Structure 1
Amino acid sequence: MAFLIEDTGEHFGALLNPETVLMSRTAGVEPHRSGGGRLAGAALADDPLLFTGGGHTELRMDLVFDVDLAPAQLHVVDVRQMTRPIWSLAENSTEIEQQRRPPCVRFVWGRAWNVPGVVTEVAERFDRFAPDGSPLRSWMRLVFVRVGQNPDEEHGENYELAQRLPLVDLTAPPVDALEVVGDGSRDEGLLGTAGGEGAGAFTRVPPVELGMLSWRAFGTPLQWKLLLGYNNIDNPFGFAGPLAVPPVIEDR
């Protein structure tokens, strides 16, 4: 995982990939107002809305840096040697039309993520220190806001995702079924498919098998969430089979 500055080609990598990425979207919708305040009425069930266009898409992630995990050739004695470049992405270090602003960067993670935007918030918590006070471990939280991209156009996020992964019709009837083997153990009380035979007894499924089930269903190990969602399964690690497989959409 890395951040690539588009103007200069510089890139800053994370020491470890984040365990979670929270992606959220706020549409361009606001309450309709007049000079006297918000428009409303006693006969209305909902406040009138003003559709302004645009919107706001952001990614939130937590990163960990530790001097003990850094390559030996870097000679890191203060964890801020690794985190300052990422911190600087939220500084007004770029000048465009005589205005200072944070640099435009791309959040890149393999083939799965390539999103343009700016880092709008950064926070660090240090919890391990050397005798001279130098911080040795950093927990960094940052907010990345997407800019200048229509996700459905060519090279956009949704467009690129559709080229790699088959679209799945979650409204169509199933075309096949997969048996869930798991590791052979049975457990009481695990959440799973409601109403199945032997309610309360479910196969404990190892995480690696979720990818195998997705591969058997769609030809990719990355679609297991769609497979479980189609079968209304809440607990990905404990459920009973077989699983119904939705059809893949051929034409995009």
Structure 2
Amino acid sequence: MERVAFLIERSGDTITCLMNPEGLLRRRTSGLAERRATGGILGGTGHADNPLIATGGGSTELELRLLFDGDIAQEGRQSSGPPDIRELTEPFWRLSENGTENTQRGPPVLRFIWGTSWNIPCIATHVAERLEHFDADGRARRSWMSLRLRRVSEAQSEREAASSERSGTESGNSGNGPGEVGQANLPLDEDGGPMRRFDEVAASEYGNPEMAWALAGANGIDDPLTIAGQSQGQGGGAAQIALPPVSALSGFGL
């Protein structure tokens, strides 16, 4: 099992879970349509296949198999009783819901992040789960979830991120001159994950969210999703990172 993360652009929330690497399916549908006339599909006895026209676009989908286990979730934590595993899977169900509030139109855009190789903006189009290990009160202890994601453009992802209202701590880097090194404070959740994402910091400070990995490398952070213990300045539920000039980031994959 591998740990993956889903970052919701609209709220900045992070959802983490375990994934079966053998259960990842990627599917591409081309932007094609059958050529039609008023009376129906154009064809003829001389055609072995229906004629096609290129409409542009298309779609890319990912199908994931996710595992949620109440025993794993409860390790190292004090609890009054065994949790209902649906409390952990409920955020994924909400990803496929159309919003009822005026500020929310359609399912939220999220980012599927796995290590340093996968960072894809997408929308959840299908969610299903199989519940197992029920107790006497009918609470399930394990869930096998199937999640189907559809890729969206980076432009759509950036528009949703820009329109969201976040409560993250503002960066302390105000008007750094050339060669100066600023600082940013990142509040941490209970698992040591940053509540303000590196791509958000890179976008606000450098104008380019793709500089997130270079910024993490410059701070000696291998995993930007779990930075507890990796950053030099840390305390009070927050981590402090340096904001070097762009020229200093060139040696970290920029």
TM-score range, shorter chain: 0.5 to 0.7
Q: Say which of 74, 89, 93 aligns to 2:95.
A: 89
What do the CA deviations read for 1:77-136 (whole angstroms, capped 9, x no partner)? 11111111122111113767x773100001111111000010010001112101100111
Aligned residues: 151
Shift in CA distance, 72/35, structure 1 to aligned 2, threshold 3 Å: farther
Once superposed, what is the RMSD of the aligned Cα atoms?
2.4
Instruction: Identify the residue that residue 144 of structure 2 maps to in structure 1.
Output: 139
Shift in CA distance, 59/94, structure 1 to aligned 2, threshold 3 Å: farther
Contact 1:62–1:139 (CA under 8 A) maintained in structure 2:
yes
Shift in CA distance, 74/61, structure 1 to aligned 2, threshold 3 Å: farther
Please state if 1:73 is matched with 2:69: no
Shift in CA distance, 31/16, structure 1 to aligned 2, threshold 3 Å: closer
Counterpart CA distance in 1 for 2:42 and 2:5 is 46
For structure 2, the residue ranges without an aligned partner over 5 or more in a row are 156-198, 200-209, 211-254
Deviating beyond 6 angstroms after TM superposition, the runs of 4 or more aligned structure 1 residues are none
How many Å apart are 1:16 and its aligned residue? 4.5
Please state if 1:33 is matched with 2:39: no
Q: Give, as a single letter, the amino acid of the residue that structure 2 aligns with 1:137.
A: R
Using structure 1 for the length normalisation, give the TM-score: 0.55
SS of the aligned residue for 2:87 comes to helix
**Structure of greater Rg:** 1
How many Å apart are 1:45 and its aligned residue? 3.2
Using structure 2 for the length normalisation, give the TM-score: 0.55
SS of the aligned residue for 2:49 comes to coil
Please state if 1:43 is matched with 2:46: yes
Shift in CA distance, 91/19, structure 1 to aligned 2, threshold 3 Å: same
Counterpart CA distance in 2 for 1:84 and 1:17 is 19
Instruction: Identify the residue that residue 188 of structure 2 maps to in structure 1.
Output: none
Counterpart CA distance in 1 for 2:121 and 2:72 is 28
Counterpart CA distance in 2 for 1:74 and 1:148 is 42
Q: Give, as a single letter, the amino acid of the residue that structure 1 aligns with 2:26.
A: M
Contact 2:67–2:144 (CA under 8 A) maintained in structure 1:
yes
Contact 1:18–1:63 (CA under 8 A) maintained in structure 2:
no
Shift in CA distance, 94/17, structure 1 to aligned 2, threshold 3 Å: farther
SS of the aligned residue for 2:108 comes to coil
Please state if 1:113 is matched with 2:101: no
What do the CA deviations read for 1:137-165 (whole angstroms, capped 9, x no partner)? 11100100001149xxxx9xxxx9xxxxx
